[in-house]
């Protein structure tokens, strides 16, 4: 059994990742692929417990460094218990956010040294994405969408426009630095058009090449 493929969605608040992840999972399933959908922070019982600490409460509840360490603790558990076992049995894993979110939110947004984040990655990431789909839209438009959606878990949304503009640029910089892994998709388009762009990239980069 060949190892499965690992796809991540990244982007700022309100970029449409969760909607596009569901659509992609449906199309892959129709194409005969076994798919596991998951998210970060979270995706395993222990990591979901850590998520509750991270996404609730005041914006300054944690420093950027404390956040980064909590994200990597959650990520390690998620990899060990959910992602790696699924890939090993041949399933494809589609994940809502992964390590690029720590580079953007805690690194560019929260001021954590990128060298420290890279060091944590090299010890913690026993798996890396085959393809990362970055849904891009202006920070103010994303925050407006996320606000209209409502719900709890607003700790990161409340960090201010400057923070969200920095992390948008960080995602674009990651894509420019790693074009073989990352694609940037315009998240302002209609849901169906974004879905087609996502599918084109997955098909040409992963399905057509085995």
Does 7 help bind ligand TMP (rule: CB under 6 A)? no
Does 187 help bind ligand TMP (rule: CB under 6 A)? no
Taking the complex as a whole, the smallest distance from the CB of residue 2 to ligand TMP amounts, in Å, to: 27
Residue with token string 């998520």: 51
Does 102 help bind ligand TMP (rule: CB under 6 A)? yes
Q: Give 92 or 171: the residue with its C-beta nearer to ligand TMP.
A: 171
Angle of helix 161-177 relative to helix 139-149, nearest 10 degrees, comes to 120
Q: Give 7 or 71: the residue with its C-beta nearer to ligand TMP.
A: 71
Taking the complex as a whole, the smallest distance from the CB of residue 30 to ligand TMP amounts, in Å, to: 25
Tallying the residues shown for the chain, one arrives at 210
Q: Which stretch binds ligand TMP (CB under 6 A): 98-106, 123-131, 174-182, 185-193?
A: 98-106
**Which two tokens mark 149?**
């959606």
Does 40 help bind ligand TMP (rule: CB under 6 A)? yes
CA nearest to 68, candidates 111, 22, 102? 102
How many residues touch ligand TMP under the rule CB under 6 A: the total is 13
Residue 43, SS3 per DSSP? coil
Give the span between the Cα atoms of 151 and 146, in whole angstroms.
9
Number of H helices, E strands in the chain: 9, 5
Contact (CB, 8 A) for 94 and 9:
yes
Contact residue for ligand TMP among 101, 175, 182, 187 (CB under 6 A): 101
Taking the complex as a whole, the smallest distance from the CB of residue 189 to ligand TMP amounts, in Å, to: 19
Contact residue for ligand TMP among 35, 70, 71, 83 (CB under 6 A): 71
Give the span between the Cα atoms of 28 and 73, in whole angstroms.
30
Binding site residues, ligand TMP, CB under 6 A: 13, 39-41, 55, 71, 96-97, 101-102, 105-106, 156
């Amino acid at each position: 059994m060949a190892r499965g493929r690992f796809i991540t969605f990244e982007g700022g608040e309100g970029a449409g990742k969760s909607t596009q992840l569901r659509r992609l999972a449906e199309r892959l399933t129709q194409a005969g692929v076994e798919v596991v959908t998951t998210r970060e922070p979270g995706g395993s019982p222990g990591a979901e417990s850590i998520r509750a600490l991270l996404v609730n409460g005041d914006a300054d509840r944690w420093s950027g460094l404390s956040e980064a360490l909590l994200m990597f603790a959650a990520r390690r558990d998620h990899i060990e218990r959910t992602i790696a076992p699924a890939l090993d049995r041949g399933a494809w894993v589609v994940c809502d956010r992964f390590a690029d979110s720590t580079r953007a939110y805690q690194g560019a947004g929260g001021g954590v040294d990128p060298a420290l984040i890279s060091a944590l990655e090299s010890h913690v990431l026993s798996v890396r994405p085959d393809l990362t789909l970055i849904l891009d839209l202006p920070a103010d438009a994303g925050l407006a969408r996320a606000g209209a959606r409502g719900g709890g878990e607003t700790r990161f949304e409340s960090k201010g426009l400057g923070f969200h503009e920095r992390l948008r640029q960080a995602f674009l910089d990651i894509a420019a630095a790693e074009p073989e892994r990352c694609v940037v998709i315009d998240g302002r388009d209609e849901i169906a058009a974004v879905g087609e762009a996502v599918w084109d990239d997955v098909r040409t980069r992963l399905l057509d090449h085995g």
